[in-house]
Structure 1
Amino acid sequence: MGDRDKTDGQGDSGRPDLSDAELTGRLRGLGSALDKVHAERKVEEARSAVPDRTSASAGMTLAFRLGSEFVAGVLVGAGLGWGFDYLIGTSPWGMIVFLLLGFGASVMNMMRAAGETGRKTPPKGGA
């Protein structure tokens, strides 16, 4: 007998011998499967590259809301202070005090609207 015994249809590596046509068919099948995967990845990348307009508009809405609440709080405080000074004649102390109160109230209102206060967090350091 020779070095190679091909009566069982297998080569030296223990794998079945395939003709060139079978290998070419497998290669084409693999190529088409890879093309399909590449196309799906490109579609996913295109979807992730497009900015989500709803989240951008929600962010703009929150920014305008926070800004308007801040300005409104300061203006209401200033208006109350001016009215207090006008009625009682304590100018400029009523304006200063109520302006600072309006500023503080507007900052607290902005933090509450942004979700920074009122959030219960567990104490740090253990149970």
Structure 2
Amino acid sequence: MPHPDNSRDEAIRRLDERAAALQERTTPKVHDYGSKAAGYGYRLMGVLIGGVFVGLGFGAGADVLFKTAPWGMIIGVLVGFGVSIWMAVRSAQRMTAEAAKEWGPPKDLPFDDEDE
């Protein structure tokens, strides 16, 4: 005949396992928004700075080829800046769509009476 304490301990252990499994299924997962947002910011900054430097390089190359110094660099920097702004806007739109698909719609903050 089984010892009653063993069956009771076994039942408690199984109940603890089921409770832990239930808690794992029902507890909402916390997303790490900070590191992903920082990555998005660095990516946009790289696009902006890179566009200006690429325009500067092309402008300097045009100055050497066509002997139009400093107009090639000036026009290259301005065109590079414009292109980098356009690319940053497109990248931001793509990142926003990706984040909305992954994290769902943004959640509003609860109303705070103390601010008034």
TM-score normalized by the length of structure 2: 0.54
SS in 2 for 1:115: helix
State the match for 1:67 in structure 2.
45
Deviation of residue 54 (structure 1)? 2.0
- Find the counterpart in structure 1 of residue 60 from structure 2: 82
**Is structure 2 residue 62 aligned with structure 1 residue 99?**
no
Give the greater-gyration-radius structure (CA). Answer: 1
Query: What is the CA distance between 1:103 and its match in structure 2?
Result: 0.1
User: What residue identity is the alignment partner of 2:48?
Assistant: F
Q: Deviations over 1:51-103 (max 9, x none)?
A: x5521111001000000111110000000000100111000111111110000
List structure 1 runs of 4+ shifted beyond 2 angstroms. Answer: none
Unaligned runs of 5+ in 1: 1-46, 120-127
Higher helix share: 2
Aligned length in residues: 68
Q: Distance in 1 between matches of 2:65 and 2:31?
A: 50
Q: Between the two structures, name the one with larger relative contact order (CA 8 Å, sep ≥ 6).
A: 2
Q: In structure 2, list runs of 5 or more residues that go unmatched.
A: 1-26, 98-116
